[in-house]
């Protein structure tokens, strides 16, 4: 019957800053623009999490949504209402762009999902007009 994909969207709020200390102020402003301002700014992130698999003939589900919520909300608790650079260990020497943030979330969510659930796609929306999609590494 083929596979189906279930996508659940989560909302949370974080602040961040784009800055490379080994660069001059001018270079930081040229590359990162207003994202280099010292005290950071923030977003309401929307995260789409997609799990793909066969549909269980008994429950009619690819995965129980309750398990997806428990797994993903557990991961997001570390980021919600936090400053990505200052409050989490993931962006000490990586810029917390949406690209890098999506890759970090991929690793954490993959581990948190129930055994047998295949994470196939993350889409991280920074605002209404911009999102990054990640489908895992090679």
The secondary structure element, H or E, covering residue 127 is strand 118-127
User: How far, in Å, CA of 40 to CA of 26, rounded?
Assistant: 17
Phi, psi for residue 112 in degrees, rounded to 5: -80, -25
Q: Which residues, numbered 2-21, are part of the site for its own copies (CB under 8 A)?
A: 2, 4-11, 13-16, 18, 20
Cα distances (Å, whole numbers) of residue 42 to 16, 126, 130: 6, 9, 14
74 counts as binding its own copies under rule CB under 8 A: no
DSSP character at residue 128: T
CB of 23 to its own copies, least distance (A): 9
Q: Which two tokens stand for residue 64?
A: 């129980």
For residues 112 and 121, which CB has a smaller minimum distance to its own copies in the complex?
121
Among 40, 72, 90, 117, binds its own copies (CB under 8 A): 40
Residues making contact with its own copies (CB under 8 A): 1-2, 4-11, 13-16, 18, 20, 31-35, 37, 39-44, 50, 55, 57-62, 64-66, 80-83, 86-87, 94-100, 102-103, 126-138
């Amino acid at each position: 019957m083929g596979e189906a994909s279930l996508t659940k969207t989560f909302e949370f709020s974080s602040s961040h800053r784009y800055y490379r200390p080994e660069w001059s102020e001018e270079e930081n402003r040229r590359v990162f623009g207003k994202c280099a301002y010292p005290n950071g700014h923030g977003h309401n992130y929307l995260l789409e999490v997609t799990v793909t698999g066969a549909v269980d003939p008994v429950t009619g589900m690819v995965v129980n949504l309750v398990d997806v919520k428990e797994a993903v909300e557990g991961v997001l608790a570390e980021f919600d209402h936090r400053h990505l650079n200052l409050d989490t260990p993931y962006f000490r020497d990586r810029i917390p762009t949406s690209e890098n943030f999506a890759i970090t979330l991929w690793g954490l969510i993959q581990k948190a999902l129930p055994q047998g659930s295949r994470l196939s796609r993350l889409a991280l929306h920074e605002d209404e007009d911009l999102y990054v999609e990640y489908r895992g590494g090679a």
